[in-house]
Amino acid sequence: MWIYNSEGFFSVVQNHECSENELMVRARCKQDLENLLRLLPSSEPLEIIETMSADYAYRVKVCKRDFADYLFATAMGVKYPNFKNSLPKNDDLRRMTYEDVWSAMYQWQARLKRLAFQNKTTRRRNDETNSSTEQGRRG
Q: Where are the domains of the chain?
A: 2-79, 84-139
Give strand pairing partners of 61. 24
User: pLDDT tens digits, residue range 63-105?
Assistant: 999 999 999 999 999 999 999 888 888 999 999 999 999 999 9
Residue 74's pLDDT is what?
94
What's the mean pLDDT when you consider all of the chain? 89
Residues 111, 131: Cα–Cα separation, whole Å: 30
User: pLDDT tens digits, residue range 27-46?
Assistant: 999 999 999 999 998 777 89
- Whole-structure pTM value: 0.79
DSSP run (H or E) holding 106: helix 92-138
DSSP run (H or E) holding 76: helix 64-76
Beta pairing class for 22-27 and 49-50: unpaired
Task: For residue 12, give the nearest of 23, 4, 20 by alpha carbon.
Answer: 23
